[in-house]
Amino acid sequence: MLEGPLHWRSPKRTKHLHESTNVLLSLKHAPADKNDRSFASSNPLAHPPPITAPPAPLLGAEHVPTLHARCIAWGPRVHHATLVPCGSKLKHFSAMRSTSVLLVAAALLGVVLSTAIRKQRMDLAGYDDSFARYKMLSFSAMAYADEPNLCMKSAYPAGGNNTVHKRVEVPCDSDDSSCRGMSAVSHSDKAIILTFRGTNQFLQLIQEAVNTVFDPEPFIAGGYVSRYFYEAFKSVWRGGLKDDFLALRNKYPDYEVWVTGHSLGGAMASLCAATLAHLGQVNTQKLRLMTFGQPRVGDKAFATAHDAMILFAYRVVHNRDIVPHVPPEILPDHGLIDGYVHHKSEVWYPNKMRVDDSYVICNADEGKKCSDSDYITLSVSDHLSYFEDHEWITDFGEDGCPVQMVNK
């Protein structure tokens, strides 16, 4: 069940869902990839042995549609949606997009599971729940903050010389909605930090993804990527963040580089890390990428190139988060035969992401034991909240990333 608000953030003074859309989406399970390694953990600092992934939440039998593969068509009012069989409607999508009606058929939520061969790669280190929960989440959330140094202090409660260095905010689409990037330096961890914030309106992400889904752009390291995601990244990067990063890298050549972001910011972070690696602007042994609620960024060739370049890359997904399932995995007759494919590796929390909650790691581009597994319901609310229950990540950042919100 797709549930939750269609607006990006809910102000704390209202804290209610202004609009909701109830859409039933059935995802057909594909056989697990033999190269897909899954792990679960109840200890955030441990490296657990392989175990069977916990089952995904199932739809009740009375709610399962006859056809497993479904598309969702959105009408002129975005809260109106209609389920249609993907096979019979998808071929007409190109003609429909020429109209003023906003349609998000298979181009947005239809899921056709890929059978591409996955490539294994060695990580710099295993996934660390504490590193994600107490540091990278704060760095990701501070991109939403008016006072980002509060998030830096939250990430380092013991103090130390850790500060935000530069903030770049530029228009990133036809509606002049802004995207943002920040650089920071942690002398405590000897790391240069890059964090990205995409749209602060959920509808903007949906609309722009639809408008550009059939218009991919070649990526410098190989493959094709979403034009909207790529242009958003380049706008921020060329708007001053690149020059600032290069100055910091020259000043601190031995520091690691940590790149992060949430939602569209996660897509921008993924493109940033791949750009740095491809151009040799950072030692890949010192590059760490971690995103939260990241959408698919490019095609299979891009995912393959990304996997080969970046040794430490994790996409954290909260339970039924809708955004990691868009854009779709197949776009027939539009140049992207295999559609959009995630790069490695996914960390899936099929729960509320509290301390000691279990998680599953899928070391595959589209791990079938993680959020793609079996029948699941999709949620907007799960996209907006990571590692805590009471605040959305936008509010979390604007409140200065209070430690008590994630330390449960």
Place of tokens 């151009």: 279
Q: How many CB atoms lie within 10 A of CB 295?
A: 26
194, exposed or middle or buried, with CB in 10 Å at 0-12, 13-18, 19+?
Answer: buried
Q: Is 224 helix (H, G, I), strand (E, B) or coil?
A: strand
Active-site residue set: 263, 321, 383
Torsion sign (Cα): 320, 212, 136, 368 = positive
Token pair in block for residue 245: 């990063």
**What one-character DSSP code corresponds to residue 341?**
B
What type of residue is 366? E
Q: How many CB atoms lie within 10 A of CB 24?
A: 16
Q: How many CB atoms lie within 10 A of CB 281?
A: 14
Judge whether 64 and 29 are in contact, CB under 8 Å: no
Strands (E), 350-396: 360-362
Judge whether 53 and 360 are in contact, CB under 8 Å: yes
Whether omega before 345 lies within 30 degrees of 0, making that bond cis, reads yes
Question: For every residue of 71-113, which 3-state class applies, written as one string?
Answer: EEEECCCCCCEEEEEHHHHHHHHHHHCCCCCCCCCCCCCCCCC
Judge whether 155 and 401 are in contact, CB under 8 Å: yes
Judge whether 104 and 214 are in contact, CB under 8 Å: no
Q: Cα(317)–Cα(66) distance, rounded to whole angstroms? A: 28
